[in-house]
Structure 1
């Protein structure tokens, strides 16, 4: 509908400008000011400049104008029918009363009604402006029908034409500003749609990767589970934090989170990075970015505690190994010192069993912790592997887009070369036609010149013949007079 309105407005503005030009052209012959000099014609129907007859040119212009008008009307009618069909499809499918999303669609329907009312108001305003310009043009045409060659009348005409010109320029400027604003909104909308499209693609890739990782983990991990009590407290806190807040991205998708981290690292965590994050992520609000920043700070703190806990665990593990080794040495020394004493041996055995039991329990805890760490390491390796696969898929996708873009560009270039060739051929044909017309005109002028020479020669011959006849008659008259005079002399 907006496209149809734009076409109608442009056509109306063109019609008004044509009416103003027509009014100015109609005033010229009547007023005698700026009248065009009519080219002289010869007897053969061609003007002296070698062009086409004026009435033929006028007929050709009228025919072209009628063709353009008919084409415009057909295009407008076609667009109007398309708009009607689209509206029908939209109301039959999108605004279905039985739809499950009726509550959400009602909001869109309300917004659409507001936009329709806004377009109607804008259309009424444009029609009012065009009607005003049209009335002024009609008044000017009416004034031009009764031209008075007085300074006041000329000044009045000049003021009316300036008023019409100012109205048209104002109308064009308003429409230009509106179109520029619409272009800006279109660019912003395209950017948002592109970002949303990329996010949807990333979601699809992430879901596929998560499913593969889950299947791989379910097939590779052992059946026994490590009790949370065997893990360090910091590790448990970190895992709980990730489970409660939506994983390592804090509930965000990988695309948004990576952009957030990239911009944050670029600004080294300073608050000034918020503005750039909002520019790169048009789908996120400032509150969401601030909440994600708080989450990320806590995430970094817990991750640092986890790393420290793992380091402490490794240190304690080494210390326990050393203690166990010392206990073994001490037990061996005790067994050598008190092997002759039965009671001491019994005590020694009891202590040794206790120590062995403690050592076995420590060994079991160590193995359990090692299994949990190994499992976490496997999960991390799987995540890294999946990220690499996603990166490779994105690279292949970009390569595919580049190839498609290259193919499209090549196709457009071939089309451009073809059109250029056609235009060149048309230009050559036009030049040939022009040269032929010039040759025809030159031949006609030569024939006309020969005809004039023949007529002049014939006229000269006729003049010479008439002169001879006149001289002969005069001579006959003299002879007759002489004979009469001689006869009179004889009689006397």
Structure 2
């Protein structure tokens, strides 16, 4: 009898410890669910909010939570990679795009009206933002489905813990009944029966625990395979994107190199043309200078010959014999004589001044 009491007490202590662990896990799960729900509500408020003043998009980088579902991590990685909840646009432009896109239910006709609301965006940028928005909606739907599955799994676990707790309470109740019966009868047969029933209960409990453990291991293996396959797929996508980016960078570098070589060839050609032009202009200027110099020399020579001719003529005039007649200076001119014919011999009127021609320099003093 003492062995049965010791076994029952040991079982009670084990069950109490298990119940306390289950209660701790349940509180932790509830806290996690509350945190995730608040997080989802905050995301929804951030998307639906429409402030009057536009704010610049901010991207917060944080290490991914390994306990989150893959769809949630995929959405967070997508938002971090593409510029936050507004796809790299400011909040005002994104809200205007959502307004027009929702109005037309995503039909292509919305683009003309969106261009009026977004004059600073090109049609290509609007189409790219539309692709980003559709990808965001798809990832958000996957995230909601993953959260629903996660909640359902947690609910099943909670129901399983409650069922285990009920089974344990039922087992304790049965043990109490068996113990009461043992105390009432006090017979060896009953003791053996109680011990046998207790052993059967232990074996049944052990078998259930083993079955649950196998099921848990199978689920864990399946989850690990699924996570491994998801990581492999993400790695393939990452490698593909990196390869595309590498090829794009190589093409851009090749284009830059070709453009630089073309610019260098054009610069060399312009330099050669400029050198030829400068040489041609220098030759033309040299010819012009030589022509002007030759012309000036000819003019100087002609001027010198003219001066020589003038000097020779002057010498011939100076050396000539000219008779001097001083009375001719006071002799009336033909014009004066004609005038005196009309005035008369007595004259009249004021006396006019008589002008004389200037004596040339070369005749002064003769």
TMscore range, shorter length: 0.3 to 0.5
* TM-score normalised by length of structure 2: 0.41
* TM-score normalised by length of structure 1: 0.32
Which protein has the bigger helix share? 1
Larger Rg: 2
